[in-house]
Structure 1
């Protein structure tokens, strides 16, 4: 799918990125300059505020997004708070430093002429500190535009969504377009504020004596920025939709989840007048999506029985690893007011894989046989595989793996690492398209460690009460996606570079026929 065919999608991401960046910048400018002035005049507060801002700045931004989820949920509110926090340091610092560096003799002369404290600030401190303040703003705008890209991980939209979707679906076009868009935004924002900083006659621009030409140099690009922002606001029109006629569909950050999210969304859109809001590719998966479901930020998504049982309910696996779906669904209904709308028909459980050539050379067909020769292998997996109780920690207790090296990486990069030879053993999901593409041998779990991870649609009961027709629609998907079919759909996205929306549309059309 080329750029032109995705133009509406990119336009929406541009509008979201612009509004989120500009809104954060305006808030940071007001708060940052105000705090900078405050700490300049208050030595006591300076000892608290500046170290506090420094400390917050040392927390990795991606961690800050995650830390705020239990407090404010996912989405716009979370993103704005993080962007404002990270934008404060350079502007507070530059404001304070600019005021501090004003020559004392100028201040004393103004006071000697009878100027009030406010007049001294307005006529001496602020004009002379302005270049430093603007320099801090230029740093801030670039930082905010870049950090807004990460906001896509918590469902806040923006151009970062294209980057993460590209990583998730192995689509270079999406990655390049999202990256170039963010870079362009940062450059234009820097140039816009740089016009203020470069204009040495800025003080005359804001005074009565400024010439028309000088004013136009600054006012014209500013008007353009706000015109585009207003256009973006009208385009997104966030206040127009009736929330009672809206359903928010979420997905985890994998190709499979993008496809399933589209199947759910298009099924609802094609058969009802309900507006569907897509919040796809949410970082952290179940860890962040489940709390957002409980806080009503999200309404429906696809979950897996093994993940729900072990990581949400935190229950021990029953005998023979067989999860009772009826018990699972009943617990979800009673404890969370969430309902499982049956199972889709495929089991996307964990697996371990090596190349078919290595399997043949070393005669490795099972986990136990891999454990014996694990010293010859470098094992790579996503971060949460090494953390989840149902993954590597428990797996190592069952099978005595002693890998030569362990490599932790993003879930969407592990196959790339395998292809490049950086790892030669990898965790897989049984519906992954890359199993076929990389000619991998999925080994036998001979001690039956991994439970089934059967996919099913989880939805808030409140949504079903508001829209009874949705339950009937989504139940039609029950049992209609086999493991082989899901692997085929993933292959179309990851290898053939089709969009999840296109693949979902074709699947729905075929299902009707």
Structure 2
């Protein structure tokens, strides 16, 4: 049985969004091959995957695109015929693509599944318990299987401020925000992206948990990538960030402590359809060594190479896979 194929996303994030990953009324467009060649390293060809076509998807932000390419190179080294569908706009769209068979592999986050896909309101603070609950619900409700879970990566949401705002307003944690809203409303400005502005585990939930109501005129909805610079230059005081984003360090932003533990754990794992994993359980063996060495620090470094240094995410992913010995780069 061959898995359904899809289209390779363009390497550049902005141009990919413009070229239309989604076709109106038609779902996702068809894919193309992996952008860069690799040879087996510590990941060796698996006979059961020889000639099997597997489509790898990713969501449309840097970390996801890098992870998507990491998955593609891992499966290529393992002998599969890999198709690329990078940069799917929106978490729900990516999940629907997985469930419908338009893609076969998607790195995803336990907190996203727990809150956004499965509709739970209360996060589970313990990472292992959160994963076990997510894996059980996803399997029973959606036929989605999790494998190669990585507890070393927790890319949760956060709010950050620049160092000047941190000193001037005396903010260290999210519980300080209500004071700023009440006492210094002109400085209680927020930058968030569209998805975070509407998610249960996003801005509405933060306001409810921490007991403040932001003035709508003080909330700017920006693209995810532009929030970091807007926070650094003071366009907004509080900017929504991902904790593994390399721009936090590059722009010297201060991440506020989530002192009420509102945000769920966002550990990463490989998701696929249950019937597919049952047919090809070797997928787990391919990804487990990769998950074992991926950490928040590693992802901060990889993300920064794309967002700060301007490198192509496919190059970043392949170089990392080669650095760790999982694959070899032809001719090197």
TM-score norm. by structure 2 comes to: 0.78
Partner residue, 2:317: 504
Question: Which gives a bigger RCO, structure 1 or 2 (Cα 8 Å, sep 6+)?
Answer: 2
Q: Does 1:399 align with 2:206?
A: no
SS in 1 for 2:314: helix
Paired residues, number: 288
Whether the aligned pair in 1 keeps the contact of 2:160 and 2:231 (CA below 8 Å) is no
After superposition, the C-alpha distances for 1:231-261 in whole angstroms (9 at most, x for unaligned) are xxxxxxxxxxxx9721110001111011100
Q: Does 1:73 align with 2:40?
A: no
CA distance in 1, matches of 2:147, 2:163: 38
Q: Does 1:340 align with 2:146?
A: yes
Partner residue, 1:287: 92
CA distance in 2, matches of 1:396, 1:64: 35
- Which deviates more from structure 2 when the two are superposed, residues 378-387 or residues 331-340? 331-340
Cα shift at 1:402:
4.5
Whether the aligned pair in 1 keeps the contact of 2:57 and 2:84 (CA below 8 Å) is yes
More strand by share: 2
- Match among 298, 304, 308 for residue 491 of structure 1: 304
Kindly report which structure 2 residues correspond to 1:179-198, keeping only aligned pairs within 5 A, or say none.
none
CA distance in 2, matches of 1:251, 1:320: 26
CA distance in 1, matches of 2:275, 2:229: 42
CA distance in 1, matches of 2:54, 2:159: 37
Kindly report which structure 2 residues correspond to 1:30-41, keeping only aligned pairs within 5 A, or say none.
none
Whether the aligned pair in 2 keeps the contact of 1:347 and 1:483 (CA below 8 Å) is yes
Whether the aligned pair in 2 keeps the contact of 1:431 and 1:486 (CA below 8 Å) is yes
More helix by share: 1
- Match among 364, 376, 386 for residue 197 of structure 2: 386
CA distance in 1, matches of 2:297, 2:10: 32
After superposition, the C-alpha distances for 1:422-470 in whole angstroms (9 at most, x for unaligned) are 2221011100111111111101111111111111111123333444432
Unpaired runs of 5+ in structure 2? 1-8, 33-49, 327-332
Unpaired runs of 5+ in structure 1? 1-8, 22-60, 77-155, 158-242
CA distance in 2, matches of 1:354, 1:506: 32
After superposition, the C-alpha distances for 1:387-433 in whole angstroms (9 at most, x for unaligned) are 11111111111223344500012222222333454222101110011
CA distance in 2, matches of 1:458, 1:64: 24
Partner residue, 1:369: 176
Partner residue, 1:316: 121
Partner residue, 1:469: 282
Q: Does 1:417 align with 2:222?
A: no
Partner residue, 2:104: 299
After superposition, the C-alpha distances for 1:198-257 in whole angstroms (9 at most, x for unaligned) are xxxxxxxxxxxxxxxxxxxxxxxxxxxxxxxxxxxxxxxxxxxxx972111000111101
SS in 2 for 1:279: strand
Kindly report which structure 2 residues correspond to 1:270-285, keeping only aligned pairs within 5 A, or say none.
270-272=77-79, 274-284=80-90
